[in-house]
Amino acid sequence: MTYSIGEVAQRLGVSVNTLRYYDQQGLMPDIKRSTGGKRLFEEDDLHYLYVVLCLKRTGMTISQIQEYVALTRGGDATLAKRLTIFKDQMAAVDKEILKLQTYRDCLNYKAAYYQRAVAAGTESVNANDESLPFPKIMNMEDD
């Protein structure tokens, strides 16, 4: 079964323009075209694009994804390098998750603080209350 660019955009939750841009950037090198020049996507193409979108949404730049795409075209000789790319990206995502969890802890702390204050009708209920431990403070500077 083949899919049009509009169907693929809808299934993957991206715009048609995004898919066209990715094609122009060489991120979809194996997409077939009809005799009229329209892109024809197959199921394997959707899986491939899903990985490309995953890489982009986890912070990879277009040029980094282009490097990955070039490696995929290099066959088995590039498997170790591709594995390294994914391990490095997982480490970057793990770091971002840790950062977001720390922010979440701060939000939870303040929500609990205000929930108690609202119930009591005053913030003074929280004064010197050690049952609400302040979350770990981390450097909030962007990397």
Average pLDDT over residues 117-137: 82
Is residue 127 packed enough to be buried (19+ CB in 10 Å), middle (13-18) or exposed (0-12)?
exposed
| DSSP code for 132 | S
CATH class name, domain 1-73: mainly alpha
Q: Which long-range contacts (CB under 8 A, 24 or more apart) does 68-77 make?
A: 69/26, 69/27, 69/29, 73/29
| Mean per-residue pLDDT of the chain | 92
CA-derived radius of gyration, the chain? 23
Q: What ranges do the domains of the chain cover?
A: 1-73, 75-143
pTM of the model: 0.79
DSSP 45-92: HHHHHHHHHHHHHTT--HHHHHHHHHHHTTGGGGHHHHHHHHHHHHHH
Average pLDDT over residues 25-34: 94
CA distance 72 to 76: 8
pLDDT tens digits, one per residue of 67-110: 999 999 999 999 999 999 999 999 999 999 999 998 999 899 89
